[in-house]
């Protein structure tokens, strides 16, 4: 089994006396910045002046300044901006202020792996990537727990880059849950593949195809919604708790027979062949190229499809049904 690192493997004092600039106060930024500060580290947040995130950081008791100012002052610059804006912000407001021995941190490897950001040789380049959304990172930290993290070292100028990444993971509670070492390449490629083929792309299209099949056959959309979307969470919870075997133990034998007999007709050898192609296009940079160009063009396809999908019947029916589910948080 791969080696896991815990609290005792990490030395927070490696970051004591260093000024850490957290760039961006969004999902990951707010969670990591506050937790590092609670861990007794010297943190400064960088945001766009006058933005809502700036105000939120001030309200949370953080020191806040501009990106250029933070990059100038900091020993470690941790970039938690949206991946699509990181390269431009790096060129304009970070690179001019970098000093030998600085540390540049990320929570996702996209910009380093696809060479959208190419730091100078005299800095450390590390990754600390929590395997969970920012709000969970913060909540777990406050409860004395943590979210598992991946760490990686791309450049080790100081000779201590790995230990610094571990210290950082400790500062956000990651070593309480367990830290696994990876590379920028592995994290980037597996993360992109997972969200495209399984977690997001695969799942949403599976749900919608099932929903459409039932509705087109004349069944009530409300029933189709419960069957294909609502119940998904209940099934996934069982898988999360005890694996696929545990889920199969809980469902009826009829459902289990349907799972093993029909599943391979839905996710076929063709599907897996396509997954391999998707992975190749991540590995050879074709996906990254498409996404970078889409952003440069002002996201015409992204905007059109997101808008169209918001009007899909599964969304309108779901909104009404969820309105009647008093136990769901608004």
The residues annotated with a catalytic role in the active site are 108
Task: For CA atoms 98, 100, 103, 105, give the dihedral sign.
Answer: positive
Site string for ligand NDP, 129-168 (x = CB under 6 A): xx--xx----------------------------------
Rule CB under 6 A: is residue 89 a binding residue for ligand NDP? yes
- Could you tell me which stretch among 125-133, 163-171, 220-228, 280-288 binds ligand NDP (CB under 6 A)? 125-133
Rule CB under 6 A: is residue 47 a binding residue for ligand NDP? yes
Interface with Mg ion (CB under 5 A), residue total: 2
24 binds, among ligand NDP, Mg ion, none (CB under 5 to 8 A by kind): ligand NDP
Task: Give the residue, chosen from 4, 85, 199, 244, that forms a contact with ligand NDP under the rule CB under 6 A.
Answer: 85
Task: Give the residue, chosen from 102, 107, 140, 182, that forms a contact with ligand NDP under the rule CB under 6 A.
Answer: 107
Rule CB under 6 A: is residue 27 a binding residue for ligand NDP? yes
Interface with ligand NDP (CB under 6 A), residue total: 24
Q: Which long-range contacts (CB under 8 A, 24 or more apart) does 105-108 make?
A: 105/76, 105/77, 105/78, 105/79, 105/165, 105/168, 106/78, 106/79, 107/28, 107/32, 107/78, 107/80, 108/83, 108/187, 108/188, 108/191
Q: Mutual orientation of helices 286-296 and 300-310 as an angle, nearest 10°?
A: 90
At its nearest, how many Å lie between ligand NDP and the CB of residue 174? 12
In angstroms, rounded to a whole number, what is the distance separating the alpha carbons of residues 330 and 322?
A: 9
Rule CB under 6 A: is residue 67 a binding residue for ligand NDP? yes
Rule CB under 5 A: is residue 187 a binding residue for Mg ion? no
130 binds, among ligand NDP, Mg ion, none (CB under 5 to 8 A by kind): ligand NDP
89 binds, among ligand NDP, Mg ion, none (CB under 5 to 8 A by kind): ligand NDP
Which residue number has the CB closest to ligand NDP?
A: 26
At its nearest, how many Å lie between ligand NDP and the CB of residue 104? 12
Rule CB under 5 A: is residue 191 a binding residue for Mg ion? yes
Task: Give the residue, chosen from 26, 178, 201, 202, that forms a contact with ligand NDP under the rule CB under 6 A.
Answer: 26
At its nearest, how many Å lie between ligand NDP and the CB of residue 198? 16
94 binds, among Mg ion, ligand NDP, none (CB under 5 to 8 A by kind): none
- Could you tell me which stretch among 4-12, 74-82, 158-166, 290-298 binds ligand NDP (CB under 6 A)? 74-82
At its nearest, how many Å lie between Mg ion and the CB of residue 191? 4
- Residues that constitute the known binding site: 25-28, 51, 53, 134, 191, 195, 227, 231, 252
Task: For CA atoms 203, 259, 241, 186, give the dihedral sign.
Answer: negative
Rule CB under 6 A: is residue 200 a binding residue for ligand NDP? no
Are 259 and 251 contacting, i.e. CB atoms less than 8 angstroms apart? Answer: yes
- Max CA pair span of the chain: 67
Q: For binding to Mg ion (CB under 5 A), which residues are involved?
A: 191, 195
The contact set with ligand NDP (CB under 6 A) reads 24-29, 47-48, 51-53, 67, 80-83, 85, 89, 107-108, 129-130, 133-134
């Amino acid at each position: 089994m791969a080696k896991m690192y815990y609290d005792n493997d990490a030395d927070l004092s490696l970051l004591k006396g260093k000024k850490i600039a957290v760039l961006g106060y969004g999902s990951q930024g707010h969670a990591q910045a506050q937790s590092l500060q609670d861990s007794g580290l010297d943190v400064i947040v960088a945001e766009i002046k006058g933005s809502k995130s700036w105000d939120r950081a001030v309200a949370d008791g953080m020191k806040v300044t501009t990106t250029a100012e933070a990059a100038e002052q900091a020993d470690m610059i941790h970039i938690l901006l949206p991946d699509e804006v990181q390269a431009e912000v790096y060129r304009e407001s970070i690179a001019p202020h970098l000093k030998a021995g600085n540390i540049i941190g990320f929570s996702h490897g996209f910009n380093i792996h696809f060479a959208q950001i190419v730091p100078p040789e005299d800095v450390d380049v590390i990754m600390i990537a929590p395997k969970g959304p920012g709000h969970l990172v913060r909540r777990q930290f406050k409860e004395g727990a943590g979210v598992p993290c991946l760490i990686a070292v791309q450049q080790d100028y100081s000779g201590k880059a790995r230990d610094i990444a571990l210290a950082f993971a400790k500062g956000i509670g990651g070593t309480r849950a367990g830290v696994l070492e990876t590379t920028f390449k592995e994290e980037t490629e597996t993360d992109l593949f997972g969200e495209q083929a399984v977690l997001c792309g695969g799942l949403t299209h599976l749900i919608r195809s099932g929903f459409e099949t039932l509705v087109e056959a004349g069944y009530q959309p409300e029933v189709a919604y419960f069957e294909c979307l609502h119940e998904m969470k209940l099934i996934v919870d069982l898988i999360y708790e005890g694996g696929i075997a545990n889920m199969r133990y809980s469902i009826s034998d009829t459902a289990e027979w349907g799972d093993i007999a029909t599943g391979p007709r839905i996710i076929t050898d063709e599907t897996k062949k396509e997954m391999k192609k998707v992975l190749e296009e991540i590995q050879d940079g074709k996906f990254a190229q498409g996404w970078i160009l889409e952003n440069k063009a002002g996201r015409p396809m992204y905007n059109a499809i997101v808008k169209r999908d918001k009007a899909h019947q599964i969304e309108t029916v779901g909104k009404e049904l969820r309105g009647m589910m008093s136990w769901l948080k608004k």
